[in-house]
Amino acid sequence: MSFILEARNLKKSFDGVVALSDANFTLNQGEICGLVGANGSGKTTFARIISGLIHPDSGQLYLYGSQISLKSHLEAERLEISMVHQNLSLIPEMTVWENINLGREFTTPLGILKKEAALNRAKEALQELQVNISFYDKVSQLAPSDKQLLEIVKALSRHPKILILDEPTASLGFRQVDILFEKLNQLKNNGVSVIFISHRIWEITKICDRLVAFRNGKTVGEVDFHQQPRDERLIIPLITGKKENEKSIHEKRSYRSFDTHQLVLEVDNLSKKEKLHNVTFKIREGEIVGLGGLNGQGQEEILLILSGYLKKTSGKIKMNNQEVFLKNSGQAIKRGIFLVPGDRQKEGLFLNHNVFTNLIYPQVALKKQKFLLPLKELHQAVTTTIQTISLIPPDPRKLVSHLSGGNQQKVVIGKWLSLSPKILLLNDPTKGVDVETRRNLYKIIADLSNQGVSVLLYASDNEELIANCDRVLIVFEGQIVEEICGEGICEENLIACSLRVQ
């Protein structure tokens, strides 16, 4: 069989760390092929090689049967290969229309920009995915989901023959995912080939014709859905290397009653201009409460106000029956309210510092230290934290930027553990994280809950709310419109309430 794209025995190392050791991959024309694997398995490295961003140390790439050597991403684009990046490639200080046209501007013979043509291109591209944002908005002003959609729109506007999507749905709500999937099926029917990288296994089984699995930098298996059932149980062992006999991340948690537990947090008529309207709820000690609903309905604003990053317009916040005023994040942190933000790289970590520095920073910043830091005690504390969060590799000297996405997220959570959190706010904490790491993260959260830490969790994946929450509050247009408890927390109820179906 002749493949549109083929990779043979690709190898790539970074500073002695092996990212790919034997990657093999084939792609047919008009096919959506999934690429799965744990964080650090080499998926993104592979995608960056075939999009011309990095060069393999060895191995061969073939396009339409002919061997190629991509010298840059511009050469890949000339060969009609486009990539949607997990860590967005947008320019924050440029507008929407400028980002879409960047590098492919319409110009006169004198090199003057044809702005009207550029705006028309942006308009048509946004309409393709039903993205409702202004051409003139700066990217820095957009919500995470809109940035993700813009990244996809930018790639689609290049009319590629091969489209590489690296975690494209990580920031999207399920309605946006459905629109994207409709578009991908349309592209497939028009002969476009798609490589779809995702940790959401249900997405792989829904949209892909076939999948290839990477583990530890090697190709370890393949599932062809034309010949095999669309069953997650076929995929998980390829990712983990273990038989699927462990507790599923999506298994519903046992019902727990908190009626006799101490009331830790009370939010009364919380409002934020144009964002939130009279939000009221309570959380008891050790309870895990979810924020559900369509993406962008005000869930993130609730978390940001409670963490002191955003100022409320009106309303009251009480901790242990006493009203608190959170004018900044420092005041929230001193009260034991900690946020795990939605963008770990920009908001949760110092990427150019090592694991040790990232883990000790909060406690050093909060406490008045002597002139010399107690490094021996801090190293002991960091060693304990690394063991608790199961960091891979367990090396405090490792630069955070060199960790996989899942292990970076472990560091974001781990830095708060030594400060004995009372309330943990989680903004989509497993976005872009593989199955095994997701299990580890939610085990950490469950252990904290059992120790009396109260948790407020927003997750874009309903299955995570079902598996981990004692109650779920449905947010719709800035208001809490429904509370679902215990056995009532299921996919059907979450979707129906999110869409306001009676």
Q: For residue 248, what pLDDT is reported?
A: 47
Quick one: angle between helices 375-389 and 355-366, nearest 10?
120
Q: What is the mean pLDDT of residues 308-337?
A: 93
Ordered strands of the 58-63 beta sheet: 66-68, 58-63, 5-14, 17-27, 218-224, 210-215, 32-36, 193-197, 162-166, 81-84
Question: Would the CATH topology of 3-240 be identical to that of 261-336+422-501?
Answer: yes
Q: For residue 246, what pLDDT is reported?
A: 46
Q: What is the mean pLDDT of residues 334-344?
A: 90
Q: Which of 148-162, 412-426, 450-464, 484-498 has the lowest mean pLDDT?
A: 484-498
Q: What is the mean pLDDT of residues 200-208?
A: 89
What are the backbone angles phi and psi of residue 153, rounded to the nearest 5°? -60, -45
- Distance between CA 502 and CA 499 in Å, rounded? 9
Helix, strand, coil abundance in the chain, percent, nearest 5: 35, 25, 40
Q: What is the mean pLDDT of residues 212-236?
A: 91
- CATH superfamily of this structure's domain 3-240: P-loop containing nucleotide triphosphate hydrolases (3.40.50.300)
- Distance between CA 213 and CA 236 in Å, rounded? 10
Does 123 have pLDDT greater than 50?
Answer: yes
Q: Kindly indicate the confidence band of residue 41, based on its pLDDT and cuts at 50, 70 and 90.
A: confident
- Distance between CA 358 and CA 351 in Å, rounded? 9
Q: What is the mean pLDDT of residues 22-49?
A: 91
Tell me the average pLDDT of the chain. Answer: 88
Q: For residue 250, what pLDDT is reported?
A: 55
**Using one digit for the tens of pLDDT, what is the confidence trace for 164-195?**
999 888 778 778 889 999 999 999 999 999 99
User: What DSSP string describes 112-156?
Assistant: -B-HHHHHHHHHHHHHHTT----TTSBGGGS-HHHHHHHHHHHHH
Q: For residue 249, what pLDDT is reported?
A: 47
Q: Kindly indicate the confidence band of residue 282, based on its pLDDT and cuts at 50, 70 and 90.
A: very high
Is the pTM higher than 0.85?
A: no
Q: What is the mean pLDDT of residues 98-110?
A: 85
Domain 261-336+422-501 has CATH 3.40.50.300: yes
- Distance between CA 16 and CA 5 in Å, rounded? 28
The candidate with the shortest Cα–Cα distance to 451, out of 304, 312, 289, 261, is 261
Residue ranges of domains in the chain: 3-240, 261-336+422-501, 346-420
Cis-peptide into 393, omega within 30 deg:
yes
**Using one digit for the tens of pLDDT, what is the confidence trace for 424-451?**
999 998 887 777 888 888 999 999 999 9
Q: Is 171 helix (H, G, I), strand (E, B) or coil?
A: coil
Does 105 have pLDDT greater than 90?
Answer: no
